[in-house]
């Protein structure tokens, strides 16, 4: 009688717990919010890395955004008596058993980002107000300027790298020296960057930069040599530069588009031996092969491996090789995260005009 009572209590417990899924198990388990968050972050990194590699191999980039995720949790139980054949067991001839199951059924909707609206977002120059916001958010000005700006006055920043891989080496040395000096003053909280607002063009809120830095130092005198139009007043230099042509009919500041930023950073992809014919080669003036590490090697490095790499921040397989950013390469990770933030800022207003792909997962 006692055994029968215990079995009844066990069966009742299983039935009661099988009516619902624990909210803690649903939210914190392997199918919970954190798991989805980590997976989406990982695949977002991989998608951007894939598109940089595609550009290096003269392929067209493609973006697929997650539009929605829904999931259903369910739990099932079953109780079934088991009666052994008499003569084969000396124990209690009757026993009871149960089955327990837990299901997580997600449905993910993807949106292919394409069409005119999205293309305009990719190819439209980055607004100077966005660049200023990144600097105010704590990003180092030299990294932001090197990625986002292709020229200031007569100082080019590898202008021919804003599109498909150029045939000949770029001019970039003076720009790097210029932004390194800006970084010097930024690190000491001596640099002020403001935006001249634009009332004429609705697409661009910022029409120019106004950069101010103290004058009493050798670094200030050196910076003023690059910022030729800087004016000295009250022991401060003020450097004003606008988008488009200035009064001398020279281009003031020319920001890159998001696509141009991607083309520029795609040159950080190392080309595996035997794949040179699939990637354009840039030549030096002497006819040799130009090494793009001298331009962006300290910003971003995307390496390759025949096997799936360990300790990778992001890794994708493409054309028989693995391309990856190493987990310990902090400079590359920072630049890559900056590119992702630019992507979110630049493409967030693009309305999708393609059908949703809804995929139930089992």
Q: Are 50 and 318 in contact (CB under 8 A)?
A: yes
What pLDDT is recorded for position 354? 45
Per residue in 266-298, pLDDT (tens digit) is 999 998 888 777 888 898 888 888 999 999 999
CA distance 311 to 315: 10
What pLDDT is recorded for position 322? 96
Per residue in 348-361, pLDDT (tens digit) is 544 444 444 444 44
The Cα-based distances of 68 to 36, 41, 110 in angstroms read: 12, 14, 7
Q: Are 123 and 257 in contact (CB under 8 A)?
A: yes
What pLDDT is recorded for position 356? 46
DSSP strand pairing (192-197 vs 206-214): antiparallel
Residues 6+ apart with CB under 8 A from 41: none
Query: H helices within 255-327, ranges in order?
Result: 258-266, 293-296
CA distance 138 to 22: 42
User: How large is the average pLDDT for residues 29-55?
Assistant: 85
User: How large is the average pLDDT for residues 31-48?
Assistant: 84
Per-residue confidence at 6, pLDDT binned at 50, 70, 90?
A: very low
Q: Please say if the pLDDT value at position 170 is more than 60.
A: yes
- What is the pTM assigned to this prediction? 0.78
What pLDDT is recorded for position 193? 92
Q: Are 207 and 132 in contact (CB under 8 A)?
A: no
What pLDDT is recorded for position 243? 83
In Å, the largest CA–CA distance within the chain is 107
User: How large is the average pLDDT for residues 192-199?
Assistant: 81
CA distance 48 to 337: 10
CA distance 282 to 199: 41
């Amino acid at each position: 009688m006692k055994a029968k009572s215990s079995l009844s209590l066990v069966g009742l417990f299983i039935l009661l717990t099988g009516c619902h899924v624990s909210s803690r198990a649903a939210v914190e388990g392997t199918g919970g919010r954190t798991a989805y968050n980590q997976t989406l972050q990982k695949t977002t990194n991989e998608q951007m890395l894939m598109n940089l590699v595609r550009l290096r191999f003269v392929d067209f980039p493609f973006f697929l955004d997650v539009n929605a995720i829904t999931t259903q949790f369910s739990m099932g139980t079953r109780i079934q008596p088991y009666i052994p054949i008499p003569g084969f067991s000396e124990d209690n001839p009757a026993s009871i058993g149960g089955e327990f199951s837990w299901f997580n059924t997600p449905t993910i909707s993807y949106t292919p980002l394409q069409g005119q609206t999205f293309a305009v977002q990719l190819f439209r120059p980055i607004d100077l107000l966005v660049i200023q916001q990144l600097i105010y958010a704590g990003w180092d000005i030299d990294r932001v300027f090197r990625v986002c700006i292709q020229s200031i006055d007569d100082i080019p920043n590898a202008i021919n790298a804003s599109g498909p891989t150029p045939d000949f080496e770029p001019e970039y040395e003076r720009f790097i020296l210029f932004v390194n000096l800006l970084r010097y003053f930024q690190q000491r909280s001596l640099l002020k960057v403001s935006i001249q607002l634009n009332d004429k063009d609705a697409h661009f809120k910022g029409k120019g930069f106004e950069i101010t830095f103290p004058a009493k130092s050798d670094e200030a005198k050196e910076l003023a040599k690059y910022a030729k139009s800087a004016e000295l007043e009250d022991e401060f230099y003020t450097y004003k530069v606008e988008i488009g042509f200035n009064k001398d009919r020279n281009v003031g500041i020319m920001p890159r588009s998001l696509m141009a930023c991607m083309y520029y950073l795609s040159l950080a992809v190392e080309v595996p031996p035997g794949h040179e014919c699939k990637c354009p080669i840039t030549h030096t003036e002497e006819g040799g092969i130009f090494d793009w590490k001298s331009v962006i090697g300290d910003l971003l490095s995307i390496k390759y491996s025949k096997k799936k790499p360990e300790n990778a921040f992001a890794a994708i397989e493409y054309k028989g090789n693995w391309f990856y950013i190493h987990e310990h390469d902090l400079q590359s990770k920072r630049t890559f995260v900056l590119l992702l933030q630019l992507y979110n800022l630049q493409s967030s207003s693009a309305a999708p005009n393609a059908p949703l792909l809804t995929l139930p997962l089992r």
